[in-house]
Amino acid sequence: MKETNMADTRKISRRGFIESGGRLAAGALVAGALPSPKTVRAASRPTAASAGQAAGANDRINMAFIGVRGRGRDLYGYFGGLPGVRIAALCDIDKNVLAERAADVEKRFGEKPAVYQYQQDLLANKDIDAVAIATPNHWHALGTIWACQAGKHVYVEKPCCHTLFEGRRMVEAARRHDRMVAVGFQNRSIRGVRQAMAFMRGGGIGEVYAARGLCFKARDPLGLVPDGLGSGERFKYFVWNNPGVNYDRAYMDNVDYDAWLGPAPKRPFNYNRFHYNWHWHWDYGDGDCGNQGPHQWDIARWGLGQGEHPRKIGSKGGYYGEKCAQETPNTQAAEAVYADGRMIEFEVRGLYTNGEDGIGIGNLFYGTKGWLRLDGEEWQSYFGRKNEEGPGSKTAGEEDFGDPMMMAAEGGHFANFINALRAGKPEMLTCPIEVGYLSSALPLLANISYRLDRSLVLDPGQERIVDDRQADRMLTRDYRKPYVVPKKV
């Protein structure tokens, strides 16, 4: 099956695509969808009226940002710098950060945004056209589905989902509610990366039979701390070069920690499971295989031209070094094999290591005529026994190698989302939810294999794991009520 860039085949007028958010049928919002923050507590969901009528295609686009402590701060900076985009609102469960981020937006863009602690309240704002979601991974799916149901278009960070069940529901939500949902695989809007993909697609290194994804990123150990606030202690991981955060009672009184946990199991607070360090715990994150790694998984799958799940996947590894609270491995190797026999090898090295051909974060591709290295947006092909240089980013200039999406990618990933939204053309998206889901699924499947210590055989069409009930159950998760990802969206 060939990968497609079509987010939805239905045609919508350029003005109507944005404005249709205000005309959703009231019946489109299904049971089990959007709990009210007051009871998360009672179960009110935004209606079609609360979704509101968005700005016209030729007017400014009002964006809101959900999760603004870390990556969300990057996102409002990127989107806010685009013409005709207004940073209308910020949302974060941690109210300590909201005032600081709102002041930052006002200073940078000249207007103070509205602030919300709860997504549900933000999504009821009829003036919001689109949301960008940069919450922890375990909140990506529910936030995206709620936003689609409320008539908002969505830009969601990678990996788009925490399980395959969630990813499929996100695809269905985008289709059912005619919403544009883009995933933050930014490499798909980088000229050099697109050049390399198009060069290989045109037979530049022959038949591409294998790809490697490299994620060599040294991480410091978390240490071990008991559950609780830890009087006087400071957070080990410093975000944005802050001097550290004291998670004392005064700080935590401004955090709804139960809502932060959301769909995840109820657990006492521990700062090694909180801001940023949630990446290294299975309830909320996916380790570096699903943190930095999704970018390299995505590029590898793209380079192989695969538009479905692999047939087999296996992963081994472990956590090595100082004992600490981290649950996910800091050393991991995985291999995915597709029905046509092509394969992806992926590796995490979280300790000090050499690079592969000088690459720490990047990809290698192997074809029947040569091979290609991709490091950021720089690429180079090699041929023959002496590895003689062929075409590469230094010599390609503006060549697009026949890529029909190159123009849509101009201006970068964030501009691509806005331009597609203005045009009312989901086919302009360089990474719609269907594409982002398939790439996000790869690290999730690799992690299931790692956790069970055995290889998996999949039925790609049915999205099931064959003859392994325990592994198949891990394609979804148990949700803590009322934060339940619904079967019908």
- 28 in helix, strand or coil? helix
Q: Residue 339: exposed, middle, or buried by beta-carbon count in 10 A (0-12, 13-18, 19+)?
A: middle
The pLDDT value given to residue 245: 72
Chain-wide mean pLDDT for the chain? 88
- Does residue 443 belong to any structural domain of this protein? yes
pLDDT, position 10: 30
Q: What is the pLDDT of residue 176?
A: 98
Is residue 141 within 8 Å of 485, Cβ to Cβ?
Answer: yes
Is 239 within a domain?
no
Structural domains counted in the chain = 1
Would residue 315 count as lying in a domain? yes
Lay out the sheet containing 343-349: strands in order across: 388-392, 378-383, 370-375, 361-367, 208-216, 343-349, 331-337, 312-318, 456-459, 464-465
Longest CA–CA span in the chain (Å) reads: 68
pLDDT computed for residue 230 by the predictor: 58
Q: Quote the domain boundaries for residue 325.
A: 190-219+287-401+437-465
Instruction: Provide the CATH number for the domain around residue 306.
Output: 3.30.360.10
Instruction: Decide if 459 is inside a domain.
Output: yes
Q: Which of 294, 348, 293 is nearest to 317 (CA)?
A: 348
Handedness of CA 77, 275, 94, 124 (dihedral sign): positive
Residue 97 lies in a domain: no
Please compute the mean of the pLDDT values over residues 474-480 and round it to a whole number: 98
Mean pLDDT of 201-210: 98
Would you tell me how many other CB atoms lie within 10 Å of the CB of residue 231?
9
For residue 444, pLDDT over 60 is answered with yes
- Its pTM stands at 0.89
Amino acid 234: pLDDT: 52
Predicted confidence band of residue 225 (pLDDT cuts 50, 70, 90)? confident
pLDDT digits 0-9 by tens, 21-40: 433 333 333 334 455 554 44
In a domain, 357, yes or no: yes
CA nearest 269: which of 245, 290, 289?
245
User: Residue 295 has what pLDDT?
Assistant: 98
Domain membership flag for residue 416: no
Mean pLDDT score, 246-252: 84
At 373, give phi and psi (nearest 5°): -110, 140
Contact 449, 470 (CB under 8 A): no
Q: How many CB atoms lie within 10 A of CB 486?
A: 16
Q: Flag whether 235 is in a domain.
A: no
DSSP character at residue 126 = T
Tens digit of each residue's pLDDT (9 = 90 or more) over 426-440: 999 999 999 999 999
Q: By percentage, how much of the chain surpasses pLDDT 90? A: 80
Average the pLDDT over each of 112-121, 187-196, 267-276 and give the range with the smallest value. Answer: 267-276
Q: Are 408 and 430 in contact (CB under 8 A)?
A: yes
What residues contact residue 341 under an 8 Å CB cut-off, 6+ apart?
209
- pLDDT for res 162: 99
Q: What is the reported pLDDT for 241?
A: 38
pLDDT at 40: 41
CB 456 within 8 A of CB 467: no
- Omega into 159 within 30° of 0, i.e. cis? yes
Class of residue 15 by CB neighbours under 10 A (exposed 0-12, middle 13-18, buried 19+): middle
pLDDT of res. 271: 85
| Model pLDDT, residue 41 | 34
341, containing H or E segment: none
Give DSSP secondary structure letters for 90-116: EE-SBHHHHHHHHHHHHHHHSSPPEEE
Confidence of residue 238 (pLDDT cuts 50, 70, 90): very low
Tell me: pLDDT of 296 over 80: yes
Percent of the chain exceeding pLDDT 70 equals 85
Span 127-146, pLDDT tens digits? 999 999 999 999 999 999 99
* Displacement of CA 400 from its chain's centroid (Å): 27
- pLDDT tens per residue, range 320-338: 999 999 999 999 999 999 9
